[in-house]
Every structure is written in C-alpha cells, then in structure tokens.
Structure 1
C-alpha cells in the first residue's frame, strides 16, 4: 500500500446477527469510488444520520463495510472536471455522501464535482463544520420561515430538540436575528446552556403534548422549528398562532403525524418541509454564504466540541442514549 495513497477512516462492518462494528482503520484511495473530485478531508461533524448509518440502519446505508460522515470540509487534491483547483478549500454536505458513498469520517473522499461548493472566504474549514449539516439545516429552516413572511415582531418561535445539533444552532441563529425563542428539551439540566444560546424560555418537551387529544390548542407561538416529528410536531401545529408556520426537519420521535386539518383551515397555518440533502447546488451555495455573512455567529468555537477520529465510535453511540448536546466537530487529521 503506497504511503501517499493510504489514509485513516472510520469503517462500519456488518458482523452478522444484526450486529455491527465501528473502528478506525487504514484504507487506500483505491478503496474509494472513481469520481472526478478527490478531497483531503480536514474536518467533519457528527449528525443523527451518521449515527443511524454507523448502527447499520439499511434505510440510510445499504452496503457494508461503509464509512459514514454526511458532511466534510477539506482541500482539493485533484479534480478531473476542472471545476476546482488543487489546494482549493471546499465543503460537501448532502447528496449521497456518508450514506452509500464513503463519507467525511475518512481522511479522503472521492465524489462528483457537482456535490462540492467553495468554502466562503469568511469561514475556516473548522467553522464550516461547526455549522455542518445540522447548522446549515437550521439556517435553511429559518430561511424557509422568512420566505413565508416570518419576522421577529410576529412573536416567539418554538424550537424542539433544543440541545441537539439543529436545535442548538437554530436557537443561536434566531436570537442573533432578533427573534424571541422558546426552547423545548427533555434535558432540564441543560437549561442554563440553552439560555446562553439565546433562549428566553425553556420548557420540557412533554408540555407540547398537553393538547394531544384536542383538535386545536390555545395559540402560543408565532412559528416553530421541529426536529422531532410525531406527536411533538402535531402538538406544535395545534398551538401555532394564526398565519404561523412550522419548519419540519426531523423524525427523532416518529416520522408519523396524525391530526385534524382544522388548525390549517381556521388559523391558516403552514407546515414547511425542509430538505438539506438534495436541494439544488445553487441553494447550497446561497445558504453557505448566509452562514458566512448575516447568519455568521460570533464566537463559533463555543458552539462545538472538537473530537478526534478515534473518538467517533464513542460519540456516535451518544445519539441513541440521549446524551447529545450541541455540535461535535471531528478533526479528521487527529487520529
């Protein structure tokens, strides 16, 4: 194995009996698919979808062994398409990266050139992965609410899954943009952290379910960002003020909702789906520019915890134990 072609990567292997192992191993560029763009990865981040892939979820990744990592920030090694020059800093999130294409939890990735965007000059590679897929998704949720007319003067915005990657960045971004934020979490011990992010009020997520058996509840929030789905999303929709919208971006609780259409008809509310995976490349470029300009958070370092590639198996397990707090940035070069 040529030293120049060797690199380290997290590898998830199927052991049989529905069990999977995950460990950092040495790989070779020849193990990667043949695509135009070869990238030397410097940073990645951990997302719920990575944890699902690393646990062997066949809805996310069908073929094993496999390297997860649905986002990456690094430097171009070569590009047969001519879109990028060697040494150029690029970002990748979404499409098939880390799902069935070896992902950012490896020191090298090979992808179609149209999956990558240039890293904005005002973002470092680490800052870009502090946002990562979770942070960029949060920004897309806010942008979707803005497109339907949301503004700070409308009133408070509810955010579920507040301590998670999407939720925590949503709170910080909304606060920076002037919104009043109500954070919902199942981790009351994290209340002070959520206040530090910008939440004016912290409520237990189970309070959303108090209207579970009602057609509609008392209108409480102007808008909402939901990362949980299921009954939590239903509860939010029943309690959004007339004309409000709920950006739906997660299914940690359930992919199903069951409710009457009454709030949609009598209050004119909107359920807004947000996709961060297959949106057009130009839209990805636009949201990357926004988090590098008007949505760039001060002191980004405080929103993340940096971990090494070797630590990723331990931290991926946290997603299923309810121990995730904020964003985890993976220094892929640190093994």
Structure 2
C-alpha cells in the first residue's frame, strides 16, 4: 500500500455548501509539479482562515488542501535547481487557492515557486515569519525604494497586532524608524512596545470616515486593513510620503479622494506577495535573515500542531489571534 499522510480538505456539495475535514491522502492525490516536499512547518494566515471558514472566496478549485505557505525538505525533484534534501520555502503562487497547499504531510509544487531556506534559519523560524512577514518585508522594501527612510519621519503600521503588522513593527524598529502602531486591541500595547513600537494609537482613530486631508502625522505607512483606515492614513501622510497597501482586513473599498495624491504628492504602493517575481522574493528573504531580530520571533509567534489548524483558522478570522501562528507538522 502507498504511504498515506494526514491532510485538511475543503469541499463543496452541489449546492455550494462548504465543508472541511481531516483525511488521509497519498502522493497520487497531489497535483502537478516537478518537486515533492515533505512539509515540516506551515502557518495559519488570515487568508487561510477565510479559506477554511468559507468567509471569503479564497478557494477556487474543489476539493482543495488549503495553506498558502510552507517550509520543508525536498523529497524528490525533476527541477534543475533542486535536489533531494534541499531546504525550501513556498509562499503564494496560488497554493492553497487553486493548487493543493500546506495543510498536508507532503506537497507537490513547481520548482520555480520555491526559494531556499536562509542559512541559520529553521523551518519553524521561517514560518514564524511566513507569508505575513514576507509581505511585511516587501512593504518595507517598497517604502525604501520610494525614499521613506528613518530620517524622513515616523511611519505608521495598521493592524499592528496581526501577523503582517507585528513583523512590520519589528523590522521597521530594528532599522531605526519611529514606529506608530495602530491596533484595536489595547491589551496588546505592551506586546507592541516589546516589538519596538514608539507610539500606539487606537484603531478607532482611523476607522471612521475621514477628511480628504488631515494633519500631516507620518512620512509613510504599512496598511493591512484597507477601507476607511487606509483612507485616513493617506490623508495624514506628509508631503511626498508613501503608504504600502498589503491587506484588506477592514474591507476592500477605499473611500478616499485624490487630495493626498495631487495636493501632497503622496504615493500609494501596492504590495502583492502571491505573484511577486523570484528576484524580489529572494531579496525579501535575504533581508529577513539580516534585518529581523530572530530573538523576537518567540514574542511574535505561538506554535500549534496539525490538529489545531481548523480551530486557529476560525480564531484568526474572529480577530482572536495576535502575531503569528506556526504549525509544527
């Protein structure tokens, strides 16, 4: 009999009612790809929570193994860049959306989707960073390319107690930025200060309808919330500043005006982690290895086992989780 491994499978019936179950799969059940990986660690991201709960149309192929990122060891490869025993990371590329993802003992993937695990970083460490941290680093790099360096002034991070926000606060503070953290969870103030936040403001300060232009309060920002929050962040960004938009926890709409763009020269920088080119991914993971304080990963993350994935997915959608959730597979 072929070897089996545990997997989480989301399915739909004829009436499009979604269900989720733990099942046994074999390698014959995996999708196309030229590299097979033993999954050692993964995470529970907000997108994974949406996929498992069905709160948003993340999954677009049925049935499907969710899980948008993983770290593990190559078991077999027909790709010239990878050989058995290599340690690799996967983020995005539709994995966990249209291609079987990380919530299984094994994954078959395209070798072009993979990047090497940075030296000195374990699979667990890589997933404590995960797609959220990789997205945060892409956002930091975008601000840097736009000239938003520490001497330009404060930067704001919205959704600061979440996965992207936590890592963004940590990276920015380690690079010398004055970080303003916006959160709806006042109980997380000490946690955010430990990560390096210099100031903390309430989510309510940014979540309501705002003016086209507000008082200039920061040189730049990283926004994982969207909607009114992003509109308010833009309205309070100083002349020539920039905001990296990488999330939609508060909604996909943007009830803003053109005023910040045409009167203050503010730039809105879109961050896509799913289809980012490999060169950008390699640079982001290299920077993560040098600019993120690995000692803070313990504060950023909690660890669960495979059996805790479904419960954690529900909790993250309900806003009950701070930082990162690492799954030890």
Alignment TM-score > 0.5, same fold: yes
Shift of 1:55: 2.2
Shift of 1:49: 1.0
Q: Give, in whole Å, the separation in 2 of the partners of 1:139 and 1:275.
A: 11
Q: Give, in whole Å, the separation in 2 of the partners of 1:58 and 1:178.
A: 37
Q: Give, in whole Å, the separation in 2 of the partners of 1:295 and 1:307.
A: 22
Shift of 1:82: 2.7
Partner in structure 2 of residue 174 of structure 1? 172
Q: Give, in whole Å, the separation in 1 of the partners of 2:142 and 2:312.
A: 31
Partner in structure 2 of residue 287 of structure 1? 284
Partner in structure 1 of residue 259 of structure 2? 262
For residues 117-128 of structure 1, what are the structure 2 equivalents within 5 Å?
117-128=115-126
Q: Deviations over 1:81-117 (max 9, x none)?
A: 2321101101110101111111111110001110111
Matched-pair contact (CA < 8 Å) for 2:61–2:99: no
- 1:216 is aligned, of 213, 216, 220, to 213
Task: Evaluate the alpha carbon distance shift between residue 121 and residue 216 of structure 1 in structure 2; reply closer, same or farther with a 3 A threshold.
Answer: same
Partner in structure 2 of residue 184 of structure 1? 182
Task: Evaluate the alpha carbon distance shift between residue 190 and residue 19 of structure 1 in structure 2; reply closer, same or farther with a 3 A threshold.
Answer: farther
Q: Give, in whole Å, the separation in 2 of the partners of 1:154 and 1:184.
A: 20
Matched-pair contact (CA < 8 Å) for 1:182–1:202: yes
Partner in structure 2 of residue 108 of structure 1? 106
Q: Deviations over 1:231-266 (max 9, x none)?
A: 110000000111111100011111111222122112
Report the 3-state secondary structure (helix = DSSP H, G, I; strand = E; otherwise coil) of the residue aligned with 2:318: coil
The reply to whether residue 321 of structure 1 matches residue 283 of structure 2 is: no
When the two chains are superposed, the root-mean-square deviation of aligned CA atoms in Å is 1.5
Shift of 1:158: 0.7
Report the 3-state secondary structure (helix = DSSP H, G, I; strand = E; otherwise coil) of the residue aligned with 1:222: strand
- 2:64 is aligned, of 56, 66, 84, to 66
Partner in structure 1 of residue 90 of structure 2? 92
Q: Give, in whole Å, the separation in 2 of the partners of 1:129 and 1:82.
A: 25
Matched-pair contact (CA < 8 Å) for 1:176–1:297: no
Q: Deviations over 1:270-310 (max 9, x none)?
A: 10101111011121111111111234533423321011011
* Unmatched segments (≥5 aa) in structure 1: none
Q: Give, in whole Å, the separation in 2 of the partners of 1:322 and 1:121.
A: 33
Stretch deviating more after TM superposition (136-145 or 6-15): 6-15
Report the 3-state secondary structure (helix = DSSP H, G, I; strand = E; otherwise coil) of the residue aligned with 1:242: strand
Q: May I ask how many residue pairs the two structures share in their alignment?
A: 329
| TM-score of the two chains, using structure 1 as the length reference | 0.94
Q: Give, in whole Å, the separation in 2 of the partners of 1:16 and 1:308.
A: 32
Report the 3-state secondary structure (helix = DSSP H, G, I; strand = E; otherwise coil) of the residue aligned with 2:317: coil
Q: Deviations over 1:178-199 (max 9, x none)?
A: 1111111111111111111111
- 1:159 is aligned, of 157, 175, 184, to 157
Q: Give, in whole Å, the separation in 2 of the partners of 1:134 and 1:213.
A: 28
Stretch deviating more after TM superposition (198-207 or 225-234): 198-207
- 2:129 is aligned, of 128, 131, 144, to 131
Report the 3-state secondary structure (helix = DSSP H, G, I; strand = E; otherwise coil) of the residue aligned with 1:319: helix
Matched-pair contact (CA < 8 Å) for 1:246–1:272: yes
